[in-house]
Structure 1
């Protein structure tokens, strides 16, 4: 067994996780610890940085238990792109109307800053060309502007703002460095020109320039670069690891998934630029890299070296995917009865099996045909890409009075299909702008859902690759630790060495015409929503 291990730490929306990973990308052990979220009012979602760090400590100690600290060669951290506020002493500072200092993190999916995002977009500053022409209310500068506008007393107390991944490396090393990934993708930082003074002055945040931009980042490093001298004495003691163990510059969670996924070997073109990576969880990020900058309306980027060194990243996404599927299932009248009788079986597995029975009874060759008269527009939490309109709402066409499990199965299928049409919408926008995509790679919980992966393949008419090591996000953060330890000559080698193998899900050409028709309905549902708004605003 290898004596070289790397620890990858991933902080998602609802939990922190850690994995012990070998130098060939095999995950030996994992641990998970839930984290608390406050939802004090509609569109407000807050967390605690202390709670998050404590959860990370718990997970790291669990996966490192029984391992010689000398064999842990490096650590890497990824997290959601949530905003952390600290006071001038480095203690948690409330971002909440409640004033509770434990609530010092604005979660990525918080939508409180809609007005601020609209104000910024009206200014049409040149930095916005790198976010598809419109800044998202999920990014950090609208949230910073909200804090300054609505909580001015708190704003005056701020010492440091961090993107959550950078907060974790700060806790581990006591170094205030920031990741190029977080700042370029979520803070309007330019990897070549740095911060834009004119942008921050125009939007009303010019005071952040003080002390060489220290509050939001004076020293910026590429993902995987060593942070300071590694683990601080305090962090090493907390974690039970060696003082000075290398810590890699952090990365956003979806981008960590991209790192762990894009090098997967599966018999499709290995060129990174031909692969669209889907990192699926509560939401889904669609990551595409290119050798030259590609500007795609409604899609974030291009960001230079934000994920793969030397390549330009575009990032599309859907704000609710796993969360939407859960919502559709959990809100249906038949769910409680189903869960009461299926024991340990996952309800999505049960529904997939039920769909096969329904198709057989109806003499249909494929379950996809069951939703001919049932259609879903999936933007229940707004549209991230390519329309970039957070005010869009979800819609369902074809409902009946049925409340049985068959009606739930059909609605579940129509939702899975709608998410695939959303991927196609993003993919078409990327291709139209200059990307050349030959395969789709999927990681996260939904990669284990055969209905989801097959539907994605059928709808986009491309092979879908699912890695054998499904925890691509944890693998990606471990790759950062390997890079910090200089275990491999460069990150590209690390990605290929630790990326592992995958299996291919091939598209079914016999149902392409059907999905083309449903995709036309999908696009029409958006046009209809726009029409309804126009009518109601007259």
Structure 2
């Protein structure tokens, strides 16, 4: 086998058989590929942020962390030298950006945990019914419901002050690296109202955000200097999830104009393989 940096042209491009199957021309450039999360990281971490007054604006991409948030979440950070972070995968040279070392933290259940918590609550049928009547996604409806609860009392962040979630229902990938860990909810009552479901949903999102902070702190302790989070994936479309991540980390969270960052990263690889660009950078 041959190791090739991401985006390197491979062989003579598409074979005649593959080109016929795909409806493309024989010889079309084929680049060394990336796994989906790394392609998403590549597609978002180098975004042009000029004019937004972000702390990373005049800094190298080593000041950025990419979060690819879906069923699970990957936390990707690159560095100019090998940094060994306990409980975080890597460092891997040129695994995402050629010439840079990659560290990869992660949470094994994020979107799937939110689904599990929400769908397992007694008020879930009521949530479905109300969301359907309003033509809304259930999570959009929950976010709106939390807004209405906050208007009648304290700020939304404080609504769940007596309800706490330990989010490792599927073990802890980073930074504890213990697959045997289990989840926990503290502060449950006998209530089974939509308000109660909304608070449990909020507490779960807050717990996941504090998990991101835990990973960031581990990376910082070993030499990473991260100032800005770049986010993509399905959960990046949930405004509450994004805002709580920013609140917990104390960092700005950047969302790309093109939300399908995995496809953008794959397109970057193809552009390099076609020799339209000299380097990924």
The TM-score, its normalising length taken from structure 1, stands at 0.50
CA-CA distance at 1:408 after TM superposition: 0.7
What residue in structure 2 maps to residue 265 of structure 1?
48
What residue in structure 1 maps to residue 2 of structure 2?
219
What residue in structure 1 maps to residue 107 of structure 2?
318
1:336 aligns with 2:125: yes
* Aligned counterpart in structure 2 of residue 241 of structure 1, from 24, 40, 54: 24
CA-CA distance at 1:250 after TM superposition: 1.0
Query: Residue 301 of structure 1 aligns to a residue in which SS?
Result: strand
What residue in structure 2 maps to residue 284 of structure 1?
73
Query: Residue 228 of structure 1 aligns to a residue in which SS?
Result: coil
Q: Within 2, Cα distance between the matches of 1:314 and 1:471?
A: 22
Q: Within 1, Cα distance between the matches of 2:8 and 2:71?
A: 29
Greater RCO (CA < 8 Å, at least 6 residues apart): 2
What residue in structure 1 maps to residue 88 of structure 2?
299
* Aligned counterpart in structure 2 of residue 484 of structure 1, from 267, 273, 276: 273
Unmatched runs of 5 consecutive residues or more in structure 2: none
Q: Within 2, Cα distance between the matches of 1:415 and 1:436?
A: 28
1:387 aligns with 2:176: yes
Task: Give a deviation string over 1:280-326, Cα, whole Å, max 9, x none.
Answer: 11100000111111111000111111111111111000001111111
Task: Give a deviation string over 1:328-354, Cα, whole Å, max 9, x none.
Answer: 111112112221232231111100111
Q: Deviating runs (4+, > 4 A) in structure 1?
A: none
What residue in structure 2 maps to residue 430 of structure 1?
219
1:275 aligns with 2:64: yes
Query: Residue 372 of structure 1 aligns to a residue in which SS?
Result: coil
Query: Residue 310 of structure 1 aligns to a residue in which SS?
Result: coil
What residue in structure 2 maps to residue 522 of structure 1?
none
* Aligned counterpart in structure 1 of residue 148 of structure 2, from 343, 357, 364: 357
Q: Within 2, Cα distance between the matches of 1:333 and 1:243?
A: 57
Query: Residue 411 of structure 1 aligns to a residue in which SS?
Result: helix
What residue in structure 2 maps to residue 250 of structure 1?
33
Q: Within 2, Cα distance between the matches of 1:422 and 1:275?
A: 18
Superposition pairs for residues 453-532 of structure 1, below 5 Å? 453-492=242-281
CA-CA distance at 1:359 after TM superposition: 1.4
Query: Residue 469 of structure 1 aligns to a residue in which SS?
Result: coil
Q: Within 1, Cα distance between the matches of 2:17 and 2:253?
A: 44
**Higher share of residues assigned strand:** 1
Task: Give a deviation string over 1:374-422, Cα, whole Å, max 9, x none.
Answer: 0001111110000000111111001111111111100000000000000
